[in-house]
Amino acid sequence: MSRVAWVLLAVVVCIGLVAPFGDWERAMTVIPTEAGLGPSPGHPLGTDHLGRDVLARLQLATSAFAGPGLLACAVALVLAVPTAAVSAYRGGVLGSATRFAFTSLAAIPRFVLVLLVLSIYGDSPTTLALAVGASYVPLLGEAVYERIERLRGEEYVLASQAHGLAGGRILWVHLVWFACGRLIGRHLLALFGFYLVLETTLSYIGGFGVQEPHPSWGNMLVFEWGRRSLVDPGLLAPGIALWATLALTDWASESLGEVEHG
Amino acid sequence: MLRTLLGRAVLTVSSLVAAATAVQLLLWAAPGDPIDLLPNGAELRPQLEAEWGLDQPVWMRVVTNLGRAATGELGTSLSYRPGTPVTEVLAQPALNSFALLIASLVLALAWSAGLAAFTRGRRQHTSRLVRTLSVAPVFLLAHLCIHGLNEVTWSLMEAGTIARPAWFALPGEASAMRTALAVVLLAVGSGALADMHREAEQALISIRRSGFVDAARARGEPTFLLVARHLTLPLASLAAARTGFLLGGLVVVEKVLLINGAGAILWQAALLRDVPVALGITLMAATTVCAARLAADALRVGIDPRLRSQA
């Protein structure tokens, strides 16, 4: 189950990364004569009320979250892991100060912080990705800090130190890579899911995020609002795609937890 | 006990001050200043710079603003309701949001504890089902609920089965239906129920495997109250940890379900780039999270004698 989840998630992300380079005429061109069509071989999920192919728009919409979502993960990884790892390993004043900083920043709800950043710095996808990545730093940092602080006194770490292994190797290979790898992976998957939720929510409510005519699973839902029945595949498709991708993220994340706890 | 609580309170207040300082620095690090956002900013610049203290160094501005915030003065709205004090803008909506937050927190805790008691690590399929359903974002669940409810109600109204309900298609009016929907969606959506259920389940399993529960069972005593009492501590910590998450969800449900709350105002303020209002709501949210942490700590210290003896 978890392997299937990883493969499908990788497919979604790859589509999203490749999408900006493709030809998406079917997704973007308004054809009034083909408006509101049901599923057919030419349009497997039908067309929207402007005659654009729903499946093509669904595929193109993955570019709204795949690249920026990965950027957010990279930001959180680069800012949180080295800071937390070094300060937890060294301990002392540095450790206490870092932990205090993480706890203090975690007091600001992530969604609220992201909205504040968007109001100050504008709402480009890059700003959103940086804001989401930075807002996740306290959570990821605290998790890594706790793990390394707990492990730094373990016998295998003390034995490695006694054998003269370099501190950097113990920290980055033994503690961060082997002991925290899966924990970090789980958090990054959760962050990717959070970015997807945030991007689609912003696009759904409007004002921020992806705006028409560019597609996002969020604005696709609201664009057909009231024009179709709830059981119409054209209306349900973006919602199902969103729900399924989040479920895949969750299952993939769960698989990392299962292996970690043996 | 008092000493322990005092220590936690000092730590919490320090965290809040640090968070508020970080937010202030975020604001002052941005290119330009709030006057740039005003339509007639260029004309009023000299006067406003002196009035808002923008001619002072950044550290002085941060300290001044923190002092003002401590006395409840959060400045005036720039564009959401120009000239109105932020505290006046937020007074009633913040109460509405707080009521929603408490209701959804209580509901989520009750459901997660109930589900944990049902599954107890044994019914993997139920846990997976809860997880898969709960992972759906709040806005998607709200969209499906509203759309489905409207379709069913409309078809029943057309068929003459029911008269038009008071809540139907009147977005401007307060509605118990929308409020109830908001509470449920907030308690369930975006993984809230699944995460709380998982943590409550782990806590419950750990307590049921404890020696004191085995001893009570061996004596033939009922263990329900004993387990429930010990479950209070992890549930309190869980509630405190989830407060920030639910506050983020409030912004979405209030906006999608058209509820007059601080979350909906934050969205509007962010759109209009009304930084004082957005900043005020952020500080209020951070204060709520810190207060929840402190309340959870107080409860833990009150219940657990081991924590009292650490002081």
| Domain residue extents for chain B | 86-303
Contacts of A258 in chain B (CB under 8 A): none
Tell me how many residue pairs between chain A and chain B have CB atoms under 8 A apart.
137
- Average confidence (pLDDT) over B173-199: 87
In 3D, which of A215, A217, A219, A220 has the Cα closest to residue A28? A215
Please list every residue in chain A whose beta carbon sits closer than 8 Å to the beta carbon of residue B148: 230
Residue B85's beta-bridge partner residues? B76
- Average the pLDDT over each of A2-6, A128-132, B63-67, B171-175 and give the range with the smallest value: B171-175
Least CB–CB distance from B248: residue in A112, A200, A246: A112
- Over residues B12-36, the mean pLDDT reads 82
DSSP assigned state of B77: -
Domain boundaries, chain A: 3-261
Cα–Cα distance measured from residue A239 to residue A235, given in angstroms and rounded to the nearest whole number:
8
Chain A nearest-CA distance from B245, in A, is: 6
Q: What is the dihedral of CA A205, A117, B283, B105, to 10 degrees?
A: 40
For residues B4 and A226, which has the higher predicted lDDT (pLDDT)? Answer: B4
Condensed to tens digits (0 to 9), the pLDDT of residues A111-123 reads 999 988 888 888 8
Per-residue pLDDT of chain A (262 residues), as tens digits, is: 788 999 999 999 999 999 999 888 888 999 999 888 888 898 888 898 899 999 999 999 999 999 999 999 999 999 999 999 999 999 999 999 999 999 999 999 999 999 888 888 888 899 999 999 999 999 999 999 999 999 998 999 999 999 999 999 999 999 999 999 999 999 999 999 999 999 999 999 988 888 888 999 999 988 887 676 767 777 789 999 999 999 999 999 988 875 444 3
Q: How far is A41 from chain B (nearest CA, A)?
A: 27
- Distance from A204 to chain B by nearest Cα, in Å? 8
Band (B305; pLDDT cuts 50, 70, 90): confident
Q: Of B135, B275, B282, which has the smallest distance from its Cβ to A246's Cβ?
A: B135
Task: Tell me B34's DSSP state.
Answer: G
Q: Please judge whether B136 and A243 are an interchain contact, meaning their C-beta atoms are less than 8 angstroms apart.
A: yes
Q: Which residue of B has its CA nearest to A107?
A: B286
Which structure tokens are listed for B271? 């759109």
Nearest CA to A64 out of A112, A19, A30, A24 is that of: A19
pLDDT of residue B30: 76
HEC letters along chain A: CHHHHHHHHHHHHHHHHHHHHCCCHHHHCCCHHHCCCCCCCCCCCCECCCCCEHHHHHHHHHHHCHHHHHHHHHHHHHHHHHHHHHHHHHCHHHHHHHHHHHHHHCCCCHHHHHHHHHHHHCCCHHHHHHHHHHHHHHHHHHHHHHHHHHHCCCHHHHHHHHCCCCHHHHHHHHHHHHHHHHHHHHHHHHHHHHHHHHHHHHHHHCCCCCCCCCCCHHHHHHHCCCCCCCCCHHHHHHHHHHHHHHHHHHHHHHHHHHHHCC
- Judged by CB atoms closer than 8 Å, whether chains meet at A116 and B290 is answered as no
Per the DSSP assignment, residues forming a β-bridge with B76 are B85
- Interchain contact, A119 vs B267, CB within 8 Å: no
Q: Which residues contact B12 (CB under 8 A, 6 or more apart)?
A: B290, B291, B293, B294, B297
Residue of B19, B27, B139 lying closest to A108 (CB–CB): B19
Tokens of A226: 């009231």
pTM of the model: 0.91
Q: Are A199 and A65 in contact (CB under 8 A)?
A: yes
Length of chain B: 311
Closest alpha carbon within chain B to A117: B26
Q: Report the candidate in B221, B214, B222, B230 with the shortest Cα–Cα distance to residue B113.
A: B230
Which residues in chain B are closer than 8 Å to A110, comparing Cβ atoms?
A: 244-245, 248
A74 within 8 A of A129, measured Cβ to Cβ: no
Using omega within 30 degrees of 0 as the cis cutoff, is the peptide bond preceding A213 cis?
yes
Average pLDDT over residues B52-72: 81
pLDDT score of A262: 37
How far apart CA A188 and CA A196 sit, in angstroms, is 12
* pLDDT of amino acid B173: 66
Is a pLDDT exceeding 70 seen at residue B171?
no
Q: How large is the greatest C-alpha to C-alpha distance in chain A, in angstroms? A: 77
ipTM metric: 0.89
Closest Cα of chain B to A22: distance in Å?
A: 28
Residues of chain B above pLDDT 90, percent: 30
Q: In this complex, do A110 and B249 lie within 8 Å of one another by their Cβ atoms? A: no
Q: Do B252 and A107 touch (CB under 8 A)?
A: no
Superfamily of domain B86-303: MetI-like (1.10.3720.10)
Q: Which residues of B278-289 are buried (b: 16+ CB within 10 A; e: fewer)?
A: bbbbbbbbbbbb
| Architecture of the domain spanning A3-261 | Orthogonal Bundle (1.10)
Chain B CB contacts of A218 under 8 Å are 139
**Average pLDDT in the B157-169 region?**
80
Q: Which range in B93-107, B126-140, B252-266 is most confidently predicted, on average pLDDT?
A: B93-107
pLDDT at B6 over 60: yes
**Which residues from chain B sit within 8 angstroms of residue A250, using beta carbons?**
131-132, 135, 191, 194
Q: With contacts defined as CB-CB under 8 Å, which chain B residues touch A119? A: 269-271, 273-275, 278
Question: Quick check: B174 pLDDT over 90?
Answer: no
Find out whether B150 and B169 touch, Cβ atoms under 8 Å.
Answer: yes
Put simply, the answer to whether A243 touches B22 (Cβ < 8 Å) is no
Max CA separation in chain B (angstroms): 82
Q: A interface mutation test: which of B105, B266, B271 has the most A CBs within 10 A?
A: B271
pLDDT of residue B168: 66
Is the pLDDT score of B57 beyond 60?
yes
CA dihedral A237, A241, A243, A249 (to 10 degrees): 180
Interchain proximity B14–A247, CB inside 8 Å: no
CB contact under 8 A, A119 and B247: no
Could B255 and A221 be called an inter-chain contact, meaning their C-beta atoms sit closer than 8 Å?
no
Q: Please judge whether A221 and B143 are an interchain contact, meaning their C-beta atoms are less than 8 angstroms apart.
A: yes
CB atoms closer than 10 angstroms to residue B296 = 20
- The minimal CB distance from B137 to the residues A108, A119, A201 is found for A201
**DSSP assignment of B194-240, as one string?**
HHHHHHHHHHHHHHHTSHHHHHHHHTT---HHHHHHHHHHHHHHHHH
Residue type (1 letter), B291: A
- For residue A105, the chain B residue with the least C-alpha distance is B19
Distance CA A163, CA A165 (A): 6
Q: Is residue B26 pLDDT above 60, yes or no?
A: yes
Can you name the residues that pair with A47 across neighbouring β-strands? A53
Give pLDDT tens digits for B107-128. Answer: 999 999 999 988 877 777 888 8
Beta bridge partners of A53: A47
For residue A31, give Cα distances in angstroms to A25, A27, A34, A52, A213: 11, 10, 6, 7, 13
Contact between A104 and B251 using a beta-carbon 8 Å cutoff: no
